[in-house]
Amino acid sequence: MSASTELADNTTSDAMNERDAEPLVRVRNLKKHFPVTSGIFNRVTGHVKAVDGVTFDIYPNETVGLVGESGCGKSTTGETMLRLQEPTSGQVYFKDDQIFGLSKQQMREIRRDMQFIFQDPQSSLNPRMTVQKIIGEAIEFHEIAHGEERRRMVEDLLERVGLQPEYATRYPHEFSGGQRQRIGVARALALNPDFIVCDEPVSALDVSVQAQVINLLKDLQEEFNLSYLFIAHDLSVVEHISDRVAVMYLGHIAELAPTEELFEDPKHPYTQSLLSAIPDPDPKTRDKERVVLEGDVPSPIDPPSGCPFHTRCPARYEPCDSVEPKRTETEDGRIVRCHLYDPEYAPSDPSVVEDLPNPPTIEDIEAGEEADTTSDVSLADD
Ligand SMILES: Nc1ncnc2c1ncn2[C@@H]1O[C@H](COP(=O)(O)OP(=O)(O)OP(=O)(O)O)[C@@H](O)[C@H]1O
Ligand code: SF4
Ligand SMILES: [Mg+2]
């Protein structure tokens, strides 16, 4: 089956599909399950469902932020998209190529266009190599330049990321954390890629340095027409760099929306909780009621039945613990994976969604009755 035929079956109606350009990257129902073994014979006794059916697009020159709590599958998504991990199932299309069907040689070629920036610049740079060698290695490996030409390319890259060309002879330990991450960025840029997965590139840095590196990534995006998947723990980090944001929970994308819309009108109860947890600098609104999530993220080895968020969701109602929510597109073109927005299960009165969490029962839904909206816990970010 050709890529285009296969895509026709799977293409979603993301609001962003209305853009003029075709997506650069398409992720379709991506799954990555790690086997869990035990005993002396290493018998497989279960699976960690790190990524459990993820679908989204990334457009040319676009940044998609991917956020969620620790262990929800962000890094595994990014790594599997670049085939640093082999997938369990699903497809990832880069331009017209379904990359899981490519040979080693074809993958080697395509990797020039798809790069990765790691979270910890300390451990991702070989301490025994000079900066010249660290950045120049890929240039040499892909036979782009050798000798003097390669040396000049590395120095040019250092300048582009705001470092002095003379630093090329130094070793990683001679730099600050922010400088080391700039070296990581220069290494990712060396092959002139179209797409970079940035896996928490600023989490290990001081807040003041975080802003510098984010601004650098934004400038480079303009200059080189790059697309990013920008992974972070919390929403406040992705707000200023992302065109759209995907919120991940236990291996699934709970919500995907243009950044401004997501911040102004979060739809999924999990997104609402995450936004509610961001400290509010405005004293006028600081005392608004906050949603505090109960408990820890459940284990991805034995995820909850039905909606994976139901064990912590303040808005859960009757279908949530038994029926898995579908990826639903709302009338205003947003993607949400929650029964509240699925016409099959949603409460008949839309105001119920605003006044959550006292949820309707299945009987209410079937009878089309109004649900109880007397709760004093406000989920909305208002
Ligand atoms: N190689 C592996 N073998 C088994 N389980 C793994 C492996 N890599 C990741 N996992 C598990 O998969 C789940 C998702 O991990 P992942 O690193 O993708 O999460 P994350 O969202 O990036 O978390 P963090 O924010 O802490 O970086 C976790 O439960 C993790 O323990
Ligand atoms: S499907 Fe139910 S449990 Fe899951 S987020 Fe929606 S309301 Fe909450
Ligand atoms: Mg991670």
- Tens digit of pLDDT for each residue in 132-180? 999 999 999 988 999 999 999 999 999 999 999 999 999 999 999 999 9
Residue nearest to atom 1 of ligand 1 (CA): 34
Residue 276 pLDDT > 90 = no
Report d(CA 199, CA 259) in Å as an integer: 19
Nearest atom in ligand 1 to 51's CA: 14
Ligand 2: distance of its center to the CA of 363 in Å? 17
d(CA 248, CA 269): 12
Q: Is the shortest distance between the CB of 72 and ligand 1 below 6 Å?
A: yes
pLDDT at position 355: 56
For residue 307, how far is its CA from the centre of ligand 3 (angstroms)?
23
Specify the ligand 2 atom closest to the Cα of 310. Answer: 3
Residue 376 has which token pair?
A: 């004093």
Residue with CA nearest ligand 1 atom 30: 71
The finding on whether 80 has its CB within 6 A of some atom of ligand 1 is no
Sign of CA dihedral 270, 271, 272, 273: positive
Look at strands 227-232 and 63-67 and give their pairing: parallel
The burial class, CB within 10 Å (0-12 / 13-18 / 19+), for 264 is: exposed
How many whole angstroms separate alpha carbon 61 and alpha carbon 31?
26
What is the Cα–Cα distance from 170 to 131, expressed in whole angstroms?
Answer: 6
Give the ligand with the smallest distance to the CA of 54. 1
**176-235: pLDDT as tens digits:** 999 999 999 999 999 999 999 999 999 888 888 889 999 999 999 999 999 999 999 878
Q: Find the 209 Cα to ligand 3 centroid distance in Å.
A: 20
CA–centroid distance, 36 to ligand 1, in Å, is: 13
Of 269, 278, 275, nearest in space to 353 by CA: 269
Reported as a pLDDT band with limits 50, 70 and 90, residue 284 is: low
pLDDT of 197: 97
Q: Over 60: is that where the pLDDT of 15 sits?
A: no
pTM of this prediction?
0.86
Q: Name the closest ligand to CA 34.
A: 1
Pocket around ligand 2: residues whose beta carbon is below 6 Å from it? 268-269, 307, 309-310, 313, 315-316, 320, 325, 338-340
Looking at the CA of residue 270, tell me the nearest atom of ligand 2.
5
Average pLDDT, the chain: 84
- Please indicate whether residue 252, judged by its CB atom, sits closer than 6 Å to ligand 1: no
Most confident listed range (3-7, 111-115, 207-211): 111-115
Q: In this structure, which ligand is nearest to the CA of 345?
A: 2
From atom 5 of ligand 1, which residue's Cα is the shortest distance away? 34
Consecutive H or E run containing 53:
strand 43-58
CB atoms closer than 10 angstroms to residue 28: 21
Residue 79 Cα to ligand 3 middle (Å): 10
For atom 8 of ligand 1, the residue with the nearest CA is: 76
Q: How far is the CA of 373 from the centre of ligand 1 (A)?
A: 38
